[in-house]
Amino acid sequence: MNNKILIPKGSKAKKTYSHGIAVPIGDKEMIFITGQIAAKNGKAITPNNIEKQTEFIFEAIDNILKEAGSSLDDVVKAVIYIKDIKDFSKISPIRNKYFKKSKPVSTLIEISNTVHEGCDIEIDVIAIRG
């Protein structure tokens, strides 16, 4: 298979994982985006602001999808991990704004922590382009 590693502009290739991978499936591509958090250079941006973190993550996902010639409109599945289930009412309108057209199947899970202190949400998606 000719999988394409996706590295968004302004990011560096990671040694142990990919930001995303586009996998050819016939005349389409299935795109897997690794879990995204609101961090730059290993530090959380806007700690304790779930809304800004959520916006940041959706923009990061959109940038990775663009590397594959895709967009958030092609997302078919989303998994959202949050540290406090009470934040659902804050992130839901943001999620709905970004998934207005695609309406993907979704899972929301409360977790105890993320990989970086101060990051309160992580999102991964699967998209199909073509």
Whole-prediction pTM: 0.92
- pLDDT tens, position by position, 76-128: 999 999 999 999 999 999 999 999 999 999 999 999 999 889 999 999 999 99
Among 11-15, 45-49, 86-90, 94-98, where is mean pLDDT lowest? 11-15
Q: Is the pLDDT of residue 12 over 90?
A: no
Averaged pLDDT for residues 68-82: 97
Please tell me the predicted confidence (pLDDT) of residue 113: 93
Which percentage of the chain shows pLDDT scores above 90?
A: 79
Taking CA atoms, 6 is separated from 24, 55, 87, in Å, by 13, 20, 30
**Structural domains of the chain, with CATH:** 4-129 (3.30.1330.40)
